[in-house]
Amino acid sequence: MKVTILSHNLSSNAAMRAHRLAVAATNFAEVKMIGPVERKGLWPALPSAPWLQTVEEKRFPRFFLSLLQLVEAADGDVLIAVKPHLASFGAALVAAEKRQVPLILDHDDLDLAFTPRSEWATHPSMADLRRPASAIYLSLLTKASPAASAITVSSTTLQKRFGGTLIPHGSLTEQFDPASLAREKMRREFGFTGPTVLFAGTPRWHKGLKPLAKAVSKVPGARLAVLCRPEDLSEAQWQRYSVLRLAMISYLDFPKLLAATDVVAIPQLDTEASRYQMPMKVYDCMAMAKPIVASAISDLPSTLKGCGRLVAPGDVTQLAEAIADLLAHPAEARSLGEKARARCLENYSMKGVGEKLLEVVNRVTVQAKAEATP
């Protein structure tokens, strides 16, 4: 069986969900992952793989050429489009219709929450029809979700909105193994000299980085580490915080960073986007047996129940107290991390995610054969 996975932008962190589904699918199929890439290149954390194929990112009217390339490359027996964008779901709809193969649409965010209609007038670039990622195309294709043969989602809130099957992000648990890395060596490699709190995610407003920076500043001796692109945290306001800005690293190197870290924070704010989003990094942090402090939002409470610390979104005091307590009680922190890894191994390995995905693939394949039978 051949499975083709389409991502709308391989130069953004959106590519990571597509990559995770691709890795899961390699457990049962020959896999190809395709998508447009900008001039700046692939997303820095995206690992290279022989099954990764790119096309040049273009705006209209030249996007038509990219669309043709995507449709031609989407030659799988089953197609999986990640996010309802023109370069993923739109291209997949054309390819599926042309080849008469089943199409699965994956929602890993409520993408419309990032480009709300109320802001189109003040931010006209959001709705610029020359952009394949225009909010107008996104809105239309979100409404077209039922056109897919099946839907998969990454959180229960998305499942309530769109239906479909919950496929967690999961983690490469064999790679994210704390026993395979020497902590002190990794600390030296990343320049960590004291208690270090890692912000596990891309620096975006709704992910709660500013409350976290305030919280860590209240913990004596602690320092916040953040993976950044050159343009991230460049504003003057960030100079007041002691933030260790780390260059973006490949996903394959992320276990080393986690091994060097004392506490991981996932401080999502209470926004519409956050309520639908399930942060991918939480599964990798669990796999690496890290003590985690996270906001009580989306599926984080159920995922981390009994194996992590939960705080109210945006509450600086609770964040600071939870971080300080874990740093002051390393045995308790270690116990939480061990429980988190055990839960990840049981529920969120790539093998387990692959089994859930295979159930959906088998279902749409059977359905397609039945519809093709006279």
| CB burial readout 72-111, b (16+ within 10 A) else e | ebbebbbbbbbbbbbbbbbbbbebbeeeebbbbbbbbbbb
Which tokens sit at 61?
């009217």
Q: For each of the chain's 374 residues, which pLDDT tens digit applies?
A: 999 999 999 999 999 999 999 999 999 999 999 999 999 999 989 998 999 999 999 999 999 999 999 999 999 999 999 999 999 999 999 999 999 999 999 999 999 999 999 999 999 999 999 999 999 999 999 999 999 999 999 999 999 999 999 999 999 999 999 999 999 999 999 999 999 999 988 888 789 999 999 999 999 999 999 998 878 877 777 877 878 889 888 888 999 999 999 999 999 999 999 999 999 999 999 999 999 999 999 999 999 999 999 999 999 999 999 999 999 999 999 999 999 999 999 999 999 999 999 999 999 999 988 888 77
Which tokens sit at 62?
């030249």
The 10 Å Cβ neighbour count of residue 199 is 25
β-strand pairing of 223-228 with 243-247: parallel
The 10 Å Cβ neighbour count of residue 155 is 24
The tens digit of pLDDT for each residue in 248-273 reads 888 889 999 999 999 999 999 999 99
For 15-164, strand residue ranges (E) read 30-37, 52-56, 78-82, 103-107, 150-153
Give CA–CA dist 11/78, Å, rounded.
24
